[in-house]
Structure formats: structure tokens, C-alpha cells
Amino acid sequence: MKRNIIKLGNSYAISLPKGWIDRFGLDSSKEIELEENSDGTLNIIAVKNKEQESEEIIRIEKEEPMEKIYAKVYRAYIQGFRNIIITGHPDRDQFKVISEVQKNLTGLEVIEQSGNRIVFKDFIHLEDIDMDRFTSSIFNHLIGMATEIINDISEDIETGDKIRDMDCAVDRTSNLIFRCLNLALRDSSYMKKIGKSTNELMITSRIIKNLEKIGNMLVGISYYMNEKQTPRMKEYGYILFEKDRRICDETAVFLNAWIEYIKLIRDALFNKKTGVAISIYTGRRSRKTMKIIFRMQDGLAKKEKDVNIEHISALESHFEPTISLSYDIAKDIIVL
């Protein structure tokens, strides 16, 4: 964007975009910082409002669901508050929010707990977080989840809730990255430090969301390998199918092929291999993973009369999103 220079006495001024002013909560009473670079360019930096970022108080109502309380804590966490205080008189069910926070929100620890007060303190310094490294770890977590399903299939082991438990690591890391992204969008000095533009931050956010969704798909695939219903399966509404060795083997083949492609996508992202990303994205409908789905539909469902078609359809409802989300990530890498 361009701005005209305005002469004010012996000084000069430019107008600042209203959207930028509103985003950082600035007005004529606030200060900004200017940094002059060696190439003659200027950085305009919104000074962080420490008072707004330090503490959030959440007052809970009697019998307010634990899930709603957690959602409020999650919102405060993503917004960057360092201290989150729950006040009221939590009952036994509401105190379960502590375990949910510790399971899903990296860095928050309980430093005070009484009959009418829970205090969480954040011990993570976001300035020290390497977002690329943590994003890479999400890819690796997902690869580990898929590998674990394959191993359980080959050893004929009941997967249970193991993959769902592994997915918690994806959720924790994703939440931490979203917190960093939110800070970067509010604090231009932090954005400068991590070296990413607003566009790069938005694309990174989409990539993380898609990786989270892939994690959910892998959890579903693992549940369709189970012969016994687990508490989590019941909670999420997954039904049981009788184990079929042919379907299990095809699922393992699918996951092995998917691991191949997600590794290529991961490497394209972090090694800036745009050409690889273009190749993966443009060839997505002819890839081996889709052929596996078609083979399950046509080969197993039509030729093998005793194969449970509903079981194949249930898996297909998770296979296809796993593929399409992966290729959406490849598409985002192209424009990074």
C-alpha cells in the first residue's frame, strides 16, 4: 500500500491504515516503535499491551458443563494470556477441566487449586518456539500413528484407543502453534522475529488445521480395525465390524502408500521444493492411494460376495479425506 508524506512544521508524517490500528488496539494515546534497517527501510512495530496479555479471569456458573469451561480456557490460551484463573465453586465434574487442559494445552500448569479457584500459569515462552520445527513434528506424529496401525494389523493386535491417545500429541502441538500464530498476527515485532509474512501465517494455519483433520481420520481408520468397542469409540459414535483379513490388508497397503506421499509433502514444505508439491497436487487423482480405494470398492465389494460392503464404505469415508487433505497441503505449499 502507498501513503503520501505530510509536512507537519519541521517534521514529516504518514497516515497509518485503520485496519492495522484496529488490529493492535491502538489510538492517539498509544506508542509505536520505529526501526530503521541498513537498506533504508523502516519497520513500524505495535508495542505489546502487557496488561491485556497477562491475566484472564473465567467466572463459572453452577452446573456449567466442563466442556464449556474448557472452551473458555482454550480461547484464553490461544489469545496468549499467561495466567488463566477460574473462579466460582467448581463441582467434581467441573474440576475435570484440569485434566483436559493438561492433556491438550502445552505449557499450562496448575499453580493453585481450592474450593472456589483454579489458577493456570503458562510456563512456555512463545518467543523461543520454532514453529517450523513443531509443524514438522506434527507430520512425524501422523506418520507414527499410521505406522502403528500398520504394525497392529500385521501382528493382529487390537488397536483399542492407542491411536486416539497418540493423536493427543498432534492436538497439543497444533494448539501451541495456533497460539504462536495468533501472537504473530497481533504483535508485529514477534512476526518480524519469526520471519513470516501475514500470508505465510494464514497458509501455515490452514496446513495445521488440515494436519489435525488427518489425525482424526487416522483415529477413525484405527477404530474400524477394532473388534471390541472402547469407551472412546462409543463416545465418538464408531460402530464395530467383524474383522476381515482382506480389508485389514488393503488398509495397511493404503496407509503405506499414504506415508510415502505425506513424507514427500513434508519434505517439499521444509525444503521449499515447489516443483515436488506441484507434481503431487496435479497428479492426485491418479495416485496409488486412489487406486487402492477403487480396488477395495470394485475388487473386494463386487467380486468377493462375503465382504462387508458397509465396512469398506466406512473406511472409504476416512481414506478419501486423508488423501484430499494431504493434497490440499501440497496446494498450500505451492503458494507459500
CATH of the domain at 88: 3.30.110.20
Select from 278, 254, 255 the least CA-distant residue to 265.
278
User: Do residue 73 and residue 169 come from a single domain?
Assistant: no
User: Do residue 222 and residue 236 come from a single domain?
Assistant: yes
User: Do residue 140 and residue 235 come from a single domain?
Assistant: yes
181 and 204 Cβ atoms separated by less than 8 Å? yes
Which range, of 202-206, 244-248, 282-286, 310-314, averages the lowest pLDDT? Answer: 282-286
pLDDT at 288: 53
User: Do residue 188 and residue 270 come from a single domain?
Assistant: yes
Please give the Cα distance from 248 to 150 (Å, whole number): 9
> CATH code at 40?
2.10.260
The pLDDT of residue 316 is above 80: yes
For residue 2, the SS3 value is coil
110 and 174 Cβ atoms separated by less than 8 Å? no
Please give the Cα distance from 89 to 99 (Å, whole number): 17
What average pLDDT does range 63-79 have in this prediction?
94
Phi, psi torsion values for 262, nearest 5 degrees: -70, -30
pLDDT at 20: 72
Residue that terminates a domain, selected from 122, 147, 163: 122
pLDDT at 313: 86
pTM for the predicted model, two decimal places: 0.79
pLDDT at 289: 54
For residue 317, the SS3 value is helix
In a domain, 1, yes or no: no
User: Do residue 205 and residue 300 come from a single domain?
Assistant: yes
Torsion of CA 96, 100, 102, 104, to 10 degrees: 180
User: Do residue 206 and residue 302 come from a single domain?
Assistant: yes
User: Do residue 117 and residue 73 come from a single domain?
Assistant: yes
In a domain, 68, yes or no: yes
Helix axis angle for 97-104 and 66-78, nearest 10°, is: 40
User: Do residue 108 and residue 221 come from a single domain?
Assistant: no
User: Do residue 138 and residue 278 come from a single domain?
Assistant: yes
What average pLDDT does range 84-109 have in this prediction?
92
Structurally, the chain folds into a number of domains equal to 3
pLDDT at 189: 79
* Residue of higher predicted confidence among 173 and 308: 173
> CATH code at 311?
1.20.58.220
User: Do residue 19 and residue 134 come from a single domain?
Assistant: no
Residue that terminates a domain, selected from 122, 154, 177: 122
Residue 74, domain extent: 51-122
User: Do residue 95 and residue 205 come from a single domain?
Assistant: no
Enter the C-alpha cell of residue 243.
474383522
User: Do residue 32 and residue 181 come from a single domain?
Assistant: no
